[in-house]
Each structure stands twice: as structure tokens, then as C-alpha cells.
Structure 1
Amino acid sequence: MSPMNSHILPDKWFVYQELRPEAPVRLVCFPYAGGATAIYTGWAAALGPDVEVAALALPGRERRIGEPPDVEVERIAAAFASTADRPYALFGHSMGALLAFEVVRRLRRDGAQLPVHLFVSGCPRPDQPRGDDIFDGLSKLPDDAMLERLVRGGGLPASVLDEAELLELMLPVYRADFGWLDTYDCGDEPPVPVPITAFVGSDDASARPEDMAGWAAHTTESFTRHIVSGGHFFLDDNLDAISRTIRAGIGGPVA
């Protein structure tokens, strides 16, 4: 979980690989469970000078390693509300997609500025019942069983199991993230007035194309779905295609 070679603003929630004050739009990227801002190294270069790319810095990892690794939608939404100095969009993969969606709903309840677009990736629709996926229920397992499932699902290299010091740092983060996922309840709220674009891997058993199609019911605006090659962790192999789609999605609202 090494930090990005980047800048971090005093609000501590957002890490920028390159500050672009003249960019007309900001894209904020949410990590998957157990992930951190380093996931999005390279996105600023891929998206180009007209998009300022920030990664959400959650507590308990990287520069915030000394903080309890809690997942708190209210605090994240408050950080967005206090720093929204231009139009912005959200991107989230797996857990990050659900978290970004909940931040949008919280911002709506608070009457704060909403994003111009929500990009969700590798995550079934919010109201889909959980329990059958390899990543479901992990917070209820003993450490060894949880880590073994993560390795089988591709979310953790097997070599990490021999790194005792690294595991000591990572386990509380996994517990917090999967605890949030395992207790997640979509509830009953109206669809959000934000366009949604969904990305799904063609071979992803955790978020199948038909699962991702269900996001359409959660927006009153446009919905599109893009199937890319790969399994659950398809971001790096498809960054060019994803970045092109993101630029197209946020180009209209901020032109």
C-alpha cells in the first residue's frame, strides 16, 4: 500500500498526482476494498490536461495509516462539499462504486453540489442481494480464511501471505472495508439525478454484465454500460478505453 508520488491537500481526503487548477473538471476515484490511492497512478496522464484527477484517501492506509480505518459516508461527503470548487465526477471500482453512489445520495440529502457524472465499475447494482459472491461475508471469517478467499478471488497476491508486517497493516483495512460491505443496505431512496456509466469485465464472476445493467434503475438521467475484457480487476489492462469513455462522459456537462 505504498503512496502515490503525488500531492495531498490540507483537507487530507484527496491525493493528486498532478495539480491542474486550470482543468474545467475534476475526477475523484474511489478505491476497491483494501485498496488505496496508488490504484490510480497513471490516470492523470491517461485522462489528459483537461481533467484534474484525485484519488480518495481513506483513513487507515498510506499517509493516513495512523487513523482508524473507518468507512464513513458522512465524513467523505462533507469533504466533497467543502472542496467542490469546480464541476466534478466520481469513479469507483467494486466497493468504491457503492461508496461513491452513497456519497452522491448523502450530498443530495445535504443539498450540496452533485457530481456531473458517476462512473461505477465492477460492482453489481446497489439493491442486489449479497451472499453468493467470493468477496461476500469476508468480514465474518477468521483472518486466515478471509485472506485465502481474497487470494482465490484475485484481490491479493499469494506472496503477501508471507509478509507478516504488511499483513498486520492490511488486516484492519480489510476488516473495515468488508465490514462496511457486509452490512450495506441500499434502502429505499429515489434514483439520483446524475448520469451513470457502468464498466464491467467480460469474465468477472463478481459483477456480471447483467448485474451491472441494474444500475440503470438508480438514475433519472442517462445510463450506459461498457463491457471490457478481463475479470474483476480489469482497470490497468483497459485504462485507455476507460479513460476515453470518461472523457466523453464528462465532456458534455462541462463544455
Structure 2
Amino acid sequence: MVFPHAGGAAAAYRSLAGALAAGGPDTFVMQYPQRADRLAHPAPDTVEELAAQLFDAGDWDRVGPLRLFGHCMGAVIAFEFARVGERRGVPVAQLWVSASQAPCTIAGSPRLPTADTEVIATMVDLGGTDPRLLADEEFVELLVRAVRADYQAFNRYACGEDVRIRADIHTIGGRSDHRVSEDMLRRWQIHTDGAFTLSLFDGGHFYINDHIDAVAELVNAA
């Protein structure tokens, strides 16, 4: 199961989902409210509420031990999804964290911007969005709407250092990511009672776009 980044739609992870499914079990990509076919769906107030809604949308106990993959904010949503699953008796085997700070560090971090111009500037800084799309006013309007909803939920999030899941946590990042460093990825280790690994690829925050097959191979080999 793949959890997109803030503002990201499921379609952006179609290639990764296909690569994961080619070498492993069926792969589902989550679609958050306020985008694509869920444009009219109201945005949850919190990350925890979003994770619970996503969990309630499927019969995950029929899928078998779950393997979750989240990029950036998607990793935190996946972490909360795993907590819901473990509380409800649905086994979660692995959480794959891509380019994300640890849950316990979020409350103490600077708040994410929600003003239009600041949201756009952040998207440009992070990369991962085709510059040609940023010249499309209609696309930018929809993107800002989705990102703002996600950022508002993220800004309300808090998690203690003592909160852990039983699932193994595997972190992945880009060596030149100026937003999420190797040390930030390592902080995830305190959130698992299972195994922990860290892997780095060449590239920045959206390193994954250049290493889809390699990332899928790493995940499927675990």
C-alpha cells in the first residue's frame, strides 16, 4: 500500500505501484480527499483522522500482513494507519518510510505554510512537480487546495517518542535531500519494536522518481 506525499494524488505513484506489484503482491495507492476523484470529499482535520478513514475504506484483514510505503507526509499517515491496524488486529509487517522526518519530531518543527504563494514556493523548492504544470493556473489552484488541506492536518500532528509499532521500519532517502537528512531518517528507529534499516539513493527529496525500479526491488526483497 502506497501513501502519497502532501498534495500528491494516487496517479503520481502509478509507476511505483506497478513496479512493486510486478515483483510482489497486489499494490494499492491511497487517494486522499481534495484531489482527483475525491475532489469534493471534505479534508480531515488531523492526520490520525485521515489514517482512520483510509483504514475504514478497505477490508485489510483479507489482504494478509500489510506492507506500507509512504513518501514524505505519506510516511506519517502510513505510520498512523499501521497504529490503527495493530489496534484492530490487522497484522502490519513492514513500514517503508521515504524522505520523511520521524513522527516525534513534527510538533517541534516549524509549521508548514498555508498561504497560496508560500505553498507554491514550497512545492518548487521540494521539486517533484513538473514546472510546466506550475504554469497552469487551474492545476495550481487544485494543487494548492490539496496541499493546504494536508499541511493543516500535519501542523496539528503530535506524537511522543514512546509511541511504537510492532512492524519493522525501513527508511529510505536521497543523499542530497535538503529537507530530510540521514539523521532525521534515523530518528524513526525509536518508533518500532521490530527491525530498522536505512538506505540512501542518489538524488534529492524526490529521489524516488529516478530510482523506481531499484526502490521496488529493495522493498520486494525485504
TM superposition score normalised by structure 1: 0.77
Aligned length: 214
Matched, 1:52 2:26: yes
Q: 1:174 aligns with which of 137, 144, 147?
A: 147
Q: Which residue of 1 aligns with 2:68?
A: 90
Deviations 1:151-181 (A, max 9, x none): 1232544444432222222222111111112
5+ residue gaps in structure 1? Answer: 1-27, 250-255
CA contact (8 A) 2:85 2:92 kept: no
Q: In 1, Cα distance between the equivalents of 2:157 and 2:191?
A: 16
Tell whether the 8 Å contact from 1:31 to 1:56 is kept in structure 2 after alignment: yes
CA 1:44–1:169: 2 relative to 1, 3 Å: closer
* Contact 1:44–1:51 (8 Å) recurs in 2: no
Q: Which has the larger radius of gyration?
A: 1
| Counterpart position of 1:130 | 109
Question: Residue 73 in 1 paired to residue 54 in 2?
Answer: no
Match of 1:114 among 69, 82, 91: 91
**Secondary structure in 1 aligned to 2:5?**
coil
Distance apart, 1:99 and its partner CA: 0.5
Do structure 1's residue 104 and structure 2's residue 51 form an aligned pair? no
More moved, 182-191 vs 218-227: 182-191
| 1:119 partner SS | strand
Q: Contact 2:71 / 2:98 at 8 angstroms: preserved in 1? A: yes
Matched residues in 2 for 1:73 and 1:46: separation? 24
Return the structure number with greater relative CO, CA threshold 8 A, min gap 6: 2
Does the residue aligned with 1:138 lie in a helix, a strand or coil? coil
Alpha-carbon RMSD: 1.9
Could you say what secondary structure the match of 2:211 adopts? Answer: helix
Cα distance 1:162–1:244, how it changes in 2: closer, same or farther (>3 A)? Answer: closer
Quote the Cα distance in structure 2 between the aligned partners of 1:167 and 1:156: 11
Tell me the CA shift for residue 49 of structure 1.
5.3
Cα gap change, 1:185/1:234 in structure 2, threshold over 3 Å: closer, same or farther? same
Corresponding residue to 1:231 among 190, 200, 204: 204
Classify the secondary structure of the residue corresponding to 2:171. Answer: strand
Higher helix proportion, which one? 2
Please give the secondary structure, in 2, of the residue aligned with 1:35: coil
Gaps spanning 5+ residues in structure 2: where? none
